[in-house]
């Protein structure tokens, strides 16, 4: 099969090569899937620098990519609910980084797999898993529910766009930090924009008494403003900052790293199927241009997901 393969650390355009490689090894608790689409995420190009090796065992040569959707070729014996031809999606991160989703085929563990509803395209399904599950699990970590006032930092990014939609669906009142050029997108999905460049002032205008929950997706200065924006006893979750400097301030803090979750992904796909959750795709690349897709994700400011269309019909 063909895949995007990395043999050394470096920038995407320097080290990602389209080449022939070995077929995936299929175990009893995995399904072999013909990949149709794979979403690109910042973690994918960060892996190429070797920077993730401190968190997840990483082996060269490697195939990047954790998002995917495609068609089942052969399910393992512990997956009787799957059959060849079923359309599936997965957040296919494994316990080590080596065999990713930027490939024509991928062996996927049963814990990660969800069936894709008939009315959801494999392009949308392939762009959803990491951002969708990150948003879902972050909201669950701080129990976002009806009546909560929620501030989402970087609400126009990949995870933020999903998080604000899910929070609105739960009945929360949502505000999101963004640049003014994205205000209309946030408002169309039920959130009040907050100008990141005037964070504290603008957030207090939106919610003078503070927020019940902050969902932080960028870390840094956004977290530094927590004491000014979060109600006493409020909850904050971050995917970008361990929040150690908030210790002793009386807040409930959670630092979250997304986990594979087939049932959770199935629930998100059901929301997409019903028209309650939208996934924006900003750009599509063939597998032969995986390096360019990763470079655009690294250097660009796209308002939506970048997709590798392994199936050329999805370009």
Q: How far apart are CA 300 and CA 285, in angstroms?
A: 15
Question: What CATH number was assigned to the domain covering residues 135-255?
Answer: 3.40.50.720
Q: How far apart are CA 212 and CA 110, in angstroms?
A: 36
Report the Cα–Cα distance between both ends of the chain, in Å, rounded.
Answer: 20
Convert the pLDDT of each residue in 38-66 to its tens digit: 999 999 999 998 888 878 889 999 999 99
Q: Which fold has domain 2-128+279-314?
A: Quinone Oxidoreductase; Chain A, domain 1 (3.90.180)
Nearby residues of 205 by Cβ (< 8 Å), 6 or more positions away: none
Tell whether the model's pLDDT for residue 120 goes beyond 80. Answer: yes
For the chain, the structural domain boundaries read 2-128+279-314, 135-255
Convert the pLDDT of each residue in 3-19 to its tens digit: 999 999 999 999 999 99
Q: What is the pTM of this model?
A: 0.97
């Amino acid at each position: 099969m063909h895949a995007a393969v990395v043999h050394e650390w470096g920038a995407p355009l320097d080290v990602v090569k389209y080449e022939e490689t070995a077929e995936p090894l299929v175990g009893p608790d995995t399904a072999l899937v013909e990949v149709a689409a794979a979403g690109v995420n910042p973690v994918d190009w960060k892996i190429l620098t070797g920077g993730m090796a401190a968190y997840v065992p990483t082996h060269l040569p490697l195939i990047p990519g954790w998002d995917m959707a495609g068609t089942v070729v052969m399910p393992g014996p512990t997956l009787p609910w799957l059959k060849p031809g079923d359309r599936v999606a997965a957040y296919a991160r494994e316990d080590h980084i080596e065999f990713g989703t930027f490939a024509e085929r991928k062996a996927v563990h049963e814990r990660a797999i969800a069936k894709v509803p008939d009315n959801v395209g494999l392009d949308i399904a392939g762009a959803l898993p990491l951002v969708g599950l990150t948003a879902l699990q972050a909201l669950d970590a701080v129990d976002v529910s009806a009546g909560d006032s929620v501030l989402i930092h970087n609400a126009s990014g990949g995870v933020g766009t999903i998080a604000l939609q899910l929070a609105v669906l739960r009945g929360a009142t949502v505000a999101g930090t963004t640049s003014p050029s994205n205000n209309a997108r946030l408002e169309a999905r039920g959130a009040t924009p907050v100008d990141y460049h005037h964070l504290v002032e603008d957030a207090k205008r939106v919610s003078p008494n503070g927020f019940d929950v902050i969902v932080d997706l960028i870390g840094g200065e956004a977290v530094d403003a927590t004491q000014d924006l979060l109600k006493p006893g409020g909850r904050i979750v971050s995917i970008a900052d361990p929040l150690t400097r908030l210790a002793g301030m009386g807040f409930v803090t959670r630092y979250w790293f997304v986990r594979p979750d087939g049932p959770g992904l199935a629930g998100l796909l059901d929301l997409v199927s019903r028209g309650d959750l939208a996934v924006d795709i900003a750009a599509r690349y063939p597998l032969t241009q995986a390096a360019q897709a990763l470079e655009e994700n690294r250097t660009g400011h796209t308002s939506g997901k970048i997709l590798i269309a392994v199936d050329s019909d999805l370009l």
